Structure formats: C-alpha cells, structure tokens
Amino acid sequence: MYTSVDGDPHFIIAVPQKEDALCFNINEDPGIVLNLIRDPITDVTVNGELIGEEMTSNNAAPHSTYFGRLGIANVQLNLKLEVTPQKIILHNGLIQTTFTWLDEVTLRNSGWTLKIIKKKSLEVSLGTGARFMVILHQAWRKNGVLLDFLGFYTVDSHRLSEYTHGLLGQFFHPIDFDILEVHPGSDPEKPDATMIVKNNQLTVTRGWQKEYTEDIRHGTNVPCWFIHNNGEGLIDGTYTDYIVSDLF
C-alpha cells in the first residue's frame, strides 16, 4: 500500500506497523497549489495544483477538485518536472524536453530516472531511494468525472531526510494512533470511533478510498480511518499552512 493522493483529492496514509491506513480529503478551490512533499536536506519538493469540474447552475453543492498539475523538483539534481494530463515537461538544467502521454519513454541520467508508460503512468526516481509514481486518469463517462486529472503515489521515500514535511511528506515518518469506542455512525456500513493521535482526540469514520496502482480504471478499495475537517488533528497545523504560491 502506498502513501498517496488521488481522486477528489483523497489522501491515503499507509501505516504498515498497524496494518492499516488513515485518510482525509482537502476541500479547496480550483487554482490552489498545495505542498505535498518538501525536504530541505535533499532539496526534493512536490507541489500540486487543484482543478475542478465545471459548476452547473443547479448544483450548489461544493464541487469536486482533483490534482491537474504536479511539480516535482530537485534543486541538487537541477531537475524540474511539470506533469499535466496532457503533457510532461522535463527541465534538466537549461534543457527543456516535452513529452505527451502517448510516448513510451525511459530516460536515465546520473541521479535520476524517468519512465513514461503510455496513457497510464509516469515513474520518477531521484537519487538512490526516492521514487514517485504519477497516474493519469482520463475522463470517461461511466465514473461521472468529466475532466482528466492525476494521482500521485510514493513508491519509496527512504532516501528523504527526517526533516521531510508537507501534506504527504510528514507521514514518511512513523505515526502511531489508537482506536477506541467503535460505535455505529450515521452510515450503517461505516462505524465511527474515537482516535487518539498526536495527543488529539478525534471522531473518525471507518470507510475506504480507492487507489489505482493495480487497476487504473476502477481502482482498488483501501480500508482506512477517515479524519474529518481537512485532516484537522492528524496533519501538523491546518491545511491552509500547506498552500503555496506556485508550482515551483
């Protein structure tokens, strides 16, 4: 199981020592850029920009948002990668190369590797042990989502330093939690419980989120404890602390 963000944006935090997972959503407006990973030691940064479905006049509910642009950068390697559902732009020093999702490419350089699997995924390896996967979701009518978007998965984070932070990066360090008093919630299939985490007592809900590394079309259900209110009490600070001004 991967620590990842996908869908509307659904964050899934794998907790292997508990054989469990935590999850939360971030509800923000299209155009907002969120910091996912920031490591001041290895100079690896990953940011994501939200896009949203078109609002319809008869729909007053909050609109769904997804990641429509990702920026992966490593200052030490002089590498910047901008990923959208249409193209992948690689800045390697002063050289800029643009690929599309119709390309099937593997590039190896001293310090990094880039692999594009046509119309499916992109894998980036930085140094000896930071590996990320970006999954392309193309709009198809059956799932009701009418725009193309991206999912972001951490395959390996062991090279990143203990100072790594961000909405995903802070969970590359072990996290402990306890679940107490499981009881029926408003949805009979999703019980509520009390969670003790980071000295906070939260009401959480048992549910599942989809991850798409095995099945890009339909996804695989991952059981998790859902933290409400934009991850409040689980993430350090509040989610607005992770809003940044631009992709890089």
CA dihedral 155, 156, 157, 158 (to 10 degrees): 170
Other beta carbons less than 10 A from residue 199's beta carbon: 6
- pLDDT at site 56: 55
Kind plus residue range of the DSSP H or E element containing 183: strand 177-187
Structure tokens at 137: 């979701």
Beta-bridged to residue 211, according to DSSP, are 220
- pLDDT at site 146: 77
Kind plus residue range of the DSSP H or E element containing 231: helix 228-231
Q: Could you tell me which residues come within 8 angstroms of residue 33 by beta carbon, excluding any fewer than 6 positions away?
A: 47, 48, 49, 50, 243, 244, 245, 246, 247
pLDDT greater than 90 at residue 100? yes
pTM: 0.94
Q: Specify whether the CB–CB gap between 46 and 166 falls below 8 A.
A: yes
pLDDT tens per residue, range 190-206: 999 999 999 999 999 99
> 3-state DSSP call for residue 240?
helix
What rounded mean pLDDT belongs to the chain? Answer: 93
Higher pLDDT, 128 or 52: 52
